[in-house]
Amino acid sequence: MSVLSAPSRIAFLGDYRPRLCGIATFTEDLCESVAGEATGSDCYVGAVNDRAEGYDYPSRVRFELQEKELDSYRRAADFLNFNNADVLCVQHEFGIYGGAAGSHLLALLKELRMPVVTTLHTVLQNPGPDQLRVMDELSKLSDRFVVMAQKGVEILREVYDVPEAKIDLIPHGIPDMEFMESSHFKAQFGVEGKRVLLTFGLIGPGKGIEHVIEALPEIVRRHPNVIYLILGATHPNLLAREGERYRLSLERLAADLGVDEHIIFHNRFVTLADLKEFIGATDIYLTPYLNEAQITSGTLAYVFGAGNAVISTPYWHAQELLADGRGVLVPFADPGAIAEAACGLLGDDERFEKMRRDAYAMGREMVWPSVARRYLASFQQARADREVTPRAAFAEWTLHRRAPALPPLRLDHVVRMTDGTGIFQHAIFNVPNFHEGYCTDDNARAFILCNQLDELGDDIPSEVLGKLSTTYLAFLAAALDYESGRFRNFMSHGRQWLEDAGSEDSHARALWATGTGAGRARDTGHRRLSAQLFETGIPAMAEFTSPRAWAFCLLGIHAYLRYNPGGERIHATRELLTGKLVGLWRNVATDDWPWFETSVTYDNARICQALILSGQWMPDPEALEIGLESLRWLASIQTNQAGSFRPIGSNGFYHKDGARADFDQQPVEAQAMVSACQEAFRITRDPKWSVEARRAFEWFLGRNDLGVPLYDFATGGCSDGLHADRISENQGAESMLAFHLSLAEMNHADQLIIHPYVPETF
């Protein structure tokens, strides 16, 4: 191996000041410290913006990317490649990047040439499905991981199968402060002669501050000269959602307990210089956090390293840092234990001083210059490892090896087709057709789309997406007849229901949508209402006879169970419907007709998708194999001689021992194939499934029998079908939503798939 020189161009990616968050502060401190230790190296930053106007960044920031705009991640990759960065240091936390579980980041990383060292600010012991997929890909794309606690090393090794040799344990950096007596700083804050307790950082419910306030009456009774200082602004995201509700609840609690004269709220984000003075005035630092699974706390590191006595709940970082008597650990949400610990320290000067000095001594290993040197060693190791196993050259990302770019999201026609009641069924050209009114089918599809887009984090104003989502869910709520437990389907433009109960398929689509909302909606009200509608409507499924209704309901059940344990009825319904589909297969399928019915009609791939999901998650190996086998056959009969997707036509469908109809081709068939193939890929990791999904999606864009795109790039609409000689000129809701749902699926997969694009067939 050749001897590598120190990296001359070091790039950092993450939030950055003046953005107000802990990772922004960390990125700035790390970059400046590395620059100070790597004399002669050019250190620069790519900053992640959470608002369109960005921030007034310092000169260190050379490029910016928009959190929710996928293309900006690819542009950032181009910038880094063309500027020949020697190494990229990524600050990772799921919530700071766009996409499901921050998956937009993967679109950047998979196109880079240089080594990548990723600092993990969160390491989850029990990740959700999307978080697990992102971490799996992040492990493939990162040359090294940095974690700040030994617990992080253990979780990476045991949960994510990351080799320990790939992990560097480097503590959270801290400013180098002198060891001083608190009396030196107290006078300037008007608390001379007081014993000061401090909690600082962005304020939110997870900080557990209410439990310290509840402990104060006992602390004040025994030590009347105590002041509790709560330093920090409310977290910006919480402020946007709820305003100062949490802070005001703390103030009311203090007044009710009669300790408001012993509490100071300092509601602002302080500079490092100010923070040092607040820390200097502190006697005891309190971190009463409520979540054990916190792998690092910058505020804890700062105060501990400055030589302060600390009382903390036993989240992971605190357990390690405060072990061996370097601090006091108390149970979660236990005001009595907090009071006892605080009074114990305030009444024992010898123990108090020893704890401070032991903390300060250990903190010398955590000062930023020392941390920066360890990062530089990690960068060097990543570069050395890359020489042994180099990544493919950028020049190999030709169109043959790289999937074509996806169209940008454009919801103009979705908005145009929606009024205060719901989304209209049909359009005349691109104009809503009032005469045909609304239907549950399309409002269900539209609600699923809103949840997918919200989860993906696409760059849509939250107020626009929130309004659309609320409208569609309100329609579904109105569609349910609570007495019969059935969803109605058709509504006139005058808001009159045109039937007592809709078709089995429309009822099941409503369950699919409400199950999705119950499992995926981030809005609490939407999630609860969705669950209520889903649980009310599911009993009717026991009597249904439509295989597609069974499949749609199974898709809703799996979405519901994603974040809900589910009751006995829901699990029983999943087993019942899965068994019905498997029974159809056993009765009908043959070697030359591996299908569930004697005809292939509409929304065909949804049956395969439902069995793939049930087979994986019940689990039921037979159901999984049937789902995959039937989908393989469906893919084979829906590919024309040119290799393009050709769905079964609705003008006659395809009957066993008969001729198949090639036209009229419907957008919902392409959408169903995209979704089913992506599900097959997620479960099997066989790249051929992602190729089949891409083939079906490109049908919308012109890779079809006529070579004409159905998607209207100008309006965001989609033609209602492909005829033998032309496309339909109308752009109704079903077709438009089929395209946008497919695009959302492809965007999600495009962030996760890192293999090259090699078109093949089964």
What CATH number is associated with residue 163? Answer: 3.40.50.2000
What is the CB neighbour count within 10 angstroms for residue 406?
A: 17
758, part of any domain? no
Domain identity same for 557 and 706: yes
Q: What is the pLDDT of residues 612-637, one digit of tens each?
A: 999 999 999 999 999 999 999 999 99
For residue range 304-349, list pLDDT tens digits in order. Answer: 998 999 999 999 999 999 999 999 999 999 999 999 999 999 999 9
Mean pLDDT (whole number) for 594-605? 97
Position 187 scores a pLDDT of 78
pLDDT in tens, 552-598: 999 999 999 987 888 899 999 999 999 999 999 999 999 999 999 99
- The per-residue pLDDT for 751 is 57
Q: Does 385 lie in the same domain as 520?
A: no
Which of 42, 29, 149 lies closest to 91, judged by CA?
A: 29
Residue 402 pLDDT: 56
CA distance 105 to 750: 11
Q: How far apart are the C-alpha atoms of 606 and 585, rounded to whole Å?
A: 14
Q: Summarize pLDDT for 277-311 with one digit per residue, the tens.
A: 888 889 999 999 999 988 889 889 989 998 999 99
Q: Please provide the average confidence, as pLDDT, over all residues in the chain.
A: 92
Q: Give residue 180's pLDDT.
A: 74
Question: Tokens 């709220």 map to which residue?
Answer: 265
Q: Domain check: are 421 and 506 in the same one?
A: yes
Do 449 and 484 have their domain in common? yes
Cis peptide before 664 (omega within 30 of 0): yes
> What is the tally of structural domains in the chain?
3
Beta carbons of 699 and 642 less than 8 angstroms apart: no
In a domain, 206, yes or no: yes
Contact 65, 73 (CB under 8 A): yes
Co-location of 521 and 646 in the same domain: yes
Residues 351 and 373 in one domain: no
Q: Are residues 578 and 475 in the same domain?
A: yes
**Position 387: which residue type?**
E
Domain that holds residue 107: 9-173+369-396
Please check whether residue 440 is in contact with residue 488, taking contact to mean a CB–CB distance below 8 angstroms. Answer: yes
Contact 625, 589 (CB under 8 A): no
Same domain, 585 and 702: yes
Q: How confident is the model at residue 756 (pLDDT cuts 50, 70, 90)?
A: very low
**Checking DSSP bridges between strand 599-600 and strand 9-14, what pairing results, if any?**
unpaired
The continuous run of DSSP H or E covering 438 comes out as strand 438-439
Do residues 518 and 530 both lie within one domain?
yes
3-class state of residue 368 by DSSP: helix
- At 497 the pLDDT is 98
Distance CA 245, CA 251 (A): 10
Share of the chain above pLDDT 90, in %: 78
Helix 667-684 × helix 605-617 angle, to 10°: 20
Q: Which residues, 6+ apart, have CB-to-CB distance to 757 below 8 Å?
A: 400, 401, 402, 403, 404, 691, 694
| Residue 22 pLDDT exceeds 90 | no
User: Which spans in 538-567 are helix H?
Assistant: 547-561
Whether 757 maps to a domain, the answer reads no
Full-model pTM = 0.77
Segment 706-738, tens digit of pLDDT: 999 999 999 999 999 999 999 999 999 999 999
Give mean pLDDT, residues 520-535: 95
pLDDT score recorded for residue 398: 52
Q: Is the domain of 188 the same as that of 102?
A: no
Q: Is residue 84 left, alpha or beta, with left meaning phi > 0 and alpha meaning psi from -120 to 50?
A: left
pLDDT of residue 233: 86
pLDDT of residue 31: 97
Window from 211-225, 453-467, 525-539, 568-582 with minimum mean pLDDT: 453-467
